[in-house]
Structure 1
Amino acid sequence: MTVAIIPARGGSKGVPGKNIARVGGVPLVARAVASALDAPGIDAVYVSTDDTAIAAVARAAGAGVIGRPADIAGDLASSEDALLHGLGVLTNQGHDVAALAFLQATSPFIDPDALGRAVARVRDGDEDAVFSAFETHGFLWRVGPDGADGVNHDKSFRPRRQDREAQFQESGAFYVMDAPGFVEARHRFFGTVGLEVVDALAGLEIDDPHELEAARALAPLLSRPRIGAIDALVMDFDGVHTDDLVEVNQEGTEAVTVSRSDGMGLSMLRAAGVPMLILSKERNPVVEARGRKLGIETVYGADDKVNILRQWSELRGFSLSKVAYVGNDVNDVESMASVGWPVTVPDAHPAALAVARVHLTRPGGRGALRELAEMILTTLEGA
């Protein structure tokens, strides 16, 4: 069998809690699990960890968990230590592991198809080890006592990019190895080594807060807006049902603009039996009026939105991991982070964009909810 092992220890000094930090609305370790599960040829996925929070996220994402001993979970422990320990545990459980895929949770954009190709190359005997790498034509330099000098070029000659030989940089995203050969060599590179070329953006590794923010900014660009199976939909009002603008007349009466297209989409969801809730901090009765018009349960004037969300879900037997929450501003972030499917609109606050798993392309009050409704209905039709 072919197994994937994802080492993910709890101690991270550069980015505390890094392995469960969210990129594209999904914890990093869960993103790695999903890539491994989607890769052709991988039979089982395990996360090796010493951390209970990471273990819980891994199990929820569909992975098995291998408890990592403290003596190989410190700063000086290598990834090889965790992999060898994991293989030992699986062997003791009776698993015959022929090939091992090693994924790093700190690489948020692992391509399952590229991983699957690497697995096939090892399983077919083409190479003993295959790793992900991206092409580079960069000029490398070293600094010595006599100043800077070229590493992969003569500094006195500047060839054009097309005239330079391509080189390849490890992306760090995945390594696939013949398992018995790895156990014997005790290192990821042995025998005949090949590389699987991936896109350079897939080579982003997260080791500091700036790289984490860069990954969050890239996530909407590298992922199609889509949603998985959900049990319920919860929506903020201002900026989601509306364009976040309000008209105020001389008597102080407020009025907002909503979309009939959104209304039709939500009507189709209601007809499909999807439970919905409008949850708003706004105290304007227009929120309740719109909810009544749509036939959707509404709570407004909600100061503690996340607690109401949890109570509403528990009362109806919904797991928060199967709830979608659409928000757009800072007071939605905690609620968005508590559900499995945080959704936001394109002009949302950066804090909401950072935790969203699905980024809609249409603005709030201008078709965003219709777009989401059609995604959900497509998922229901395919179930």
Structure 2
Amino acid sequence: MSEAVAIIPARGGSKGVPRKNLRRVGGIPLVARAVDAARRCPSIDRVVVSTDDPDIAAVAAEWGAEIIVRPAELAGDSASSESALLHAMAVLEERGVDVGVIAFLQATSPFIDSEALDEAVLLVRSRRRDSVFSAVETYGFLWAKAAGDAAEAVNHDAEVRPRRQDRDPHYLETGAFYVMRAAGFRASGHRFFGSIGIAEVPERTAIEIDTPSELQVARAIAPLIDVPGPVLVDAVVTDFDGVHTDDSVTVGEDGTESVVVSRSDGMGVARLREAGVPVLILSTEVNPVVTARARKLQVDVVQGLTDKSEALREWAADRGIPLSRIAYLGNDVNDLACLELVGWPVSVPEAHPLVLAAARVVLNRPGGAGAVRDLAERVLSGRAAASVHPRIATQEAQ
């Protein structure tokens, strides 16, 4: 039986936003978000990423995509998406895959609607449509600049201003996905052919990232769109100040520092240890308070760091834990490098705005008042869910 294959072209070069396909929205690389959206679609049998970049390939493979190496001549600025799709189809056929339906996903659309994608695939697979694209309904009055920059009405009569309820809508492509019969696409060489259908998607998901400002907007709205799932990791790494504490310190007359920590956090760490989840505390400063707390919690600690991310890399490598399977909990700008490094960047709710923007998960409890326990409970719940439903163990795990 022929397969419905999702193909995600993701080249390494990008002028507007350098390394765009690896930039994170909601704490997840854009190419990974596209892979995840395709894997969540029940009617898609195989997910493929076509790329010329080894870093993109590594991330896509971690998230469960099959990789097709795209030749340099098909990865330049002038290369079309259609050329990448045709190349991917040829490679798949060489691998013995019978491609019946193609779902062309663009990683630059971070909020791909998996339900709408599924409906589009079913429309094409049932032959009710030959090609289907994602779009949002619009009642906007469109204008174009004519000769001499004079405004000219495009989709309406400028002298007639009917009410919204008295007008028929138009549909604006979102660029998120295009679903096509493989044979028809191969024959036409274009994504639109035959009977064309529209897959309506929510307007809030319709952002497409081509500029730094659009990336900022996507990061800002991600917490409003993304649905939190289980935290699936093999290790937890945390900052200390502002995470295990409320970021305040009491200084005695002799210069001795003291902080307040939460017993609830201690119980959370203890439960992680019992479950076999390693915990590491990373701290920029050398402080006996941190040493004492780590000893009490019976966890690893590394202090006096100029580069926390390098220490994190070394610790993960020594333990054989992939960075994609680590949750890092931070609160301030010196945590950003670590947050960008791991699969699960996590933030306390009162964190610096840049940390909040980088987080995949923002906890409910503040630093020093149960934040670590909050994360521990999510990790333990994720492990419990994965043990009952094995598919969850690979879904969103990176």
The two structures share one fold, judged by TM-score above 0.5: yes
Q: Are the aligned partners of 1:132 and 1:195 in contact in 2 as well (CA < 8 Å)?
A: yes
Structure 1 residue identity aligned to 2:322? S
Q: Are the aligned partners of 1:225 and 1:359 in contact in 2 as well (CA < 8 Å)?
A: no
Aligned to 2:177, what secondary structure does the other structure show?
strand
* Identity value in percent: 59
Query: 2:369 maps to what in 1?
Result: 366
Q: Are the aligned partners of 1:31 and 1:108 in contact in 2 as well (CA < 8 Å)?
A: yes
Q: Are the aligned partners of 1:226 and 1:358 in contact in 2 as well (CA < 8 Å)?
A: no
Aligned to 2:89, what secondary structure does the other structure show?
helix
Q: How does 1:118-197 map to 2 (within 5 A)?
A: 118-145=120-147, 147-197=150-200
Query: 2:71 maps to what in 1?
Result: 69
Deviation at 1:32, TM superposition (A): 0.6
Query: 2:390 maps to what in 1?
Result: none
Deviations 1:297-320 (A, max 9, x none): 222223332222122222222111
Flag the 1:163–1:245 CA change in 2: closer, same or farther, 3 A.
Answer: farther
Runs (4+) of structure 1 exceeding 6 A deviation are none
For 2:368 and 2:164, locate their aligned partners in 1 and report how far apart those are by CA, in whole Å: 48
For 1:218 and 1:181, locate their aligned partners in 2 and report how far apart those are by CA, in whole Å: 37
Structure 2 residue identity aligned to 1:173? A
- Aligned partner of 1:203 among 194, 203, 206: 206
Deviations 1:146-176 (A, max 9, x none): 7323222233333333333222111100011
Aligned to 2:108, what secondary structure does the other structure show?
coil
Query: 1:308 maps to what in 2?
Result: 311
Aligned to 1:309, what secondary structure does the other structure show?
helix
Structure 2 residues not aligned, in runs of 5+: 388-398
Tell me how many residue pairs correspond in the alignment. Answer: 383
Query: 2:17 maps to what in 1?
Result: 15
Structure 2 residue identity aligned to 1:64? E
Deviation at 1:227, TM superposition (A): 4.0
| Cα root mean square deviation, aligned | 1.7
Query: 1:100 maps to what in 2?
Result: 102
Structure 1 window deviating more from structure 2 (119-128 vs 244-253): it is: 244-253
- Aligned partner of 1:112 among 111, 114, 118: 114
Structure 1 window deviating more from structure 2 (347-356 vs 85-94): it is: 347-356
- Aligned partner of 1:322 among 325, 336, 340: 325
Q: Are the aligned partners of 1:276 and 1:297 in contact in 2 as well (CA < 8 Å)?
A: yes
For 1:186 and 1:162, locate their aligned partners in 2 and report how far apart those are by CA, in whole Å: 39
Deviation at 1:264, TM superposition (A): 2.3
Structure 2 residue identity aligned to 1:369? V
Q: Are the aligned partners of 1:232 and 1:274 in contact in 2 as well (CA < 8 Å)?
A: yes
Query: 1:331 maps to what in 2?
Result: 334
Aligned to 1:183, what secondary structure does the other structure show?
helix
Structure 1 residue identity aligned to 2:109? S
Q: Are the aligned partners of 2:230 and 2:381 in contact in 1 as well (CA < 8 Å)?
A: no
Q: How does 1:192-341 map to 2 (within 5 A)?
A: 192-341=195-344
Structure 1 window deviating more from structure 2 (227-236 vs 197-206): it is: 227-236
Query: 1:346 maps to what in 2?
Result: 349
Structure 2 length-normalised TM: 0.92
For 1:223 and 1:282, locate their aligned partners in 2 and report how far apart those are by CA, in whole Å: 35
Structure 1 window deviating more from structure 2 (22-31 vs 265-274): it is: 265-274
